[in-house]
């Protein structure tokens, strides 16, 4: 298998069949990002289900000891105050939603890797649906994580929109 870099694309030539498969670098990067996002949400789902039937205050205490946090710190007290809101049904919902979102992200990533139009439209729609919320969150309280997510998702949205619009133009 030979690879040649041509513009914004990586062209792979199979020595066996002589066929060319073009992979746009941008779509590959987005596919990798979606794959990593899927892994993150699988880990979140597993963690939520792992906490079922456990004393959350005890888990917070163990985590604080492990991370050597001051038990009197504002952060630890914040976690203790919020832990009363966490119940087993809530953990089940968090786990299931995390697994569903991981499956959707994985489908997006695989579809983008295979350069399927449906994956471009799906990713475009999902990304567009989260942008207003992310903008609201940045204006509400700007953190580097929120700003970074907004920038990444805006770049993904604009890039995919360019691809979709370019595909719909008639070729001469």
pTM over 0.85: no
What pLDDT was estimated at residue 59?
86
Taking the CA atoms of the chain, what radius of gyration do you get in angstroms?
21
The residue with greater pLDDT, 38 or 68, is: 38
**Does 158 map to a domain?**
yes
Q: Which domain holds residue 126?
A: 116-172
What pLDDT was estimated at residue 23?
58
Q: What is the mean pLDDT of residues 123-133?
A: 95
Neighbours of 30 (CB within 10 A): 24
What pLDDT was estimated at residue 35?
97
Residue 6 φ then ψ, to 5°: -125, 110
Q: Which of 69-78, 123-132, 150-159 has the lowest mean pLDDT?
A: 69-78
How far are the Cα atoms of 11, 21, 24, 101 from residue 17, in angstroms, in the given order? 14, 11, 21, 37
**Does 138 map to a domain?**
yes
**Does 21 map to a domain?**
no
- Number of domains forming the structure of the chain: 1
**Does 40 map to a domain?**
no
The rounded mean pLDDT for the chain is 85
């Amino acid at each position: 298998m030979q690879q040649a870099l041509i513009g914004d694309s990586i062209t792979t030539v199979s020595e066996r069949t002589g066929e060319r498969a073009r992979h746009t670098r941008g779509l590959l990067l987005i596919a990798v990002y979606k794959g990593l996002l899927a892994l993150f949400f699988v880990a979140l789902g597993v963690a939520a289900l792992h906490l079922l039937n456990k004393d959350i205050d005890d888990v917070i205490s163990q985590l604080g000891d492990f991370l050597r946090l001051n038990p009197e710190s504002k952060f630890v007290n914040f976690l203790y105050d919020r832990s009363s809101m966490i119940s087993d049904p809530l953990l089940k919902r968090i786990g299931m939603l995390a697994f569903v979102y991981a499956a959707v992200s994985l489908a997006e990533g695989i579809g983008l890797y295979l350069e399927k139009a449906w994956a471009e439209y799906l990713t475009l729609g999902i990304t567009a649906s989260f942008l207003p919320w992310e903008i609201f969150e940045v204006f509400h309280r700007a953190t580097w994580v929120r700003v970074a997510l907004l920038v990444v998702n805006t770049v993904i949205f604009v890039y995919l929109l360019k691809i979709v619009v370019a595909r719909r133009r008639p070729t001469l």
